[in-house]
Structure 1
């Protein structure tokens, strides 16, 4: 009699224990999944922020290159002018507005061979170098313009006429030579980097889309013509 009474209680207790364990495991799994989703969302946000930084780097390089292209393409103003630096006026508003990509923003690329990460840091360092060259060119070009203004003797249409002799002529030639050298190096860098950066961004976007398909489903990169 006693045994018959106890047995259902033991069975009932066992069922209650199993149910509690199942609920605990289910709750733990649900919490873990939520944490994983939250982590993925956070990492996707950081990856998107890294993408924006790369796009800003590209915009800086591309806009600088287009400015120089337009200066050379202005055939009306460029008639008869031979010195490249005489064609390219100071690049106003050229200050770099890009930031370096941080490690946490590209952590999702750690599963790769490291090549893309290395190229990301390389193009950003090169962009910073370009910014230094542009700033130097702007400063030297404005100094040269101020120097020439002190020797203006007349105006022919839209062009200023200046007379330089002796020491002044030597100084002018030296400054023009340095400006041409800076400009030539700048053009070479821009031509290479405007292609390299766009390629890196496309690879970055492809990797981010594969890693975070939901968060990057609408992300795209297009180069608009000026």
Structure 2
């Protein structure tokens, strides 16, 4: 069935919107190039999106998302799981006084923070809901990756990992694919991930997978992030157990 002009415009508009999930700022020419679209068509779409308060133009002539309306849309989509997760995150933060995040697999090479509870400490790591990371950035990203490739055969796993962009954020960042494979295999074997300074210097992250109610899919990860100075090795098992129990509570409400 041939698509109507209206549906084509809608599709193109959504394609433009999705570009901003991984790109902070884009010019009209960049959008046209990335989507292989006519620049005049992109101008019309961008003007409409700007008029509806979904994007705004900066002084450098590039466009960026206008957060309030985007968050309204996202909150509508993810409201249910966030409602289940919020009390879990609050209870963990109340116990350990460290920031806790719930992330979701976003497409196949990204994750998005969909809920969080910040540490009450003045010195803390914090990130916004809706922020997108490339896999395997950080503890959460590595944990997502471990469970994405867990059931792949060797050929599929090799192809997937070889296409990932491995960024050297710090001296401890993993940029070698063979080393990354060992690390993610260990995550699956242990059932949790701990990193120190791989994404940000002097930051420790602990993460566990969140499985759905029938334990056949992992699209979410629960993470705790703290400064290295506050990480207490004697509490390692307590951190992991609290996150795993929290993940289980959240997962019981996920059907798919």
State the TM-score, normalized to the length of structure 1.
0.23
Looking at both structures, which has the greater relative contact order when contacts are Cα pairs under 8 Å and sequence separation is at least 6? 1
Larger Cα-atom Rg: 1
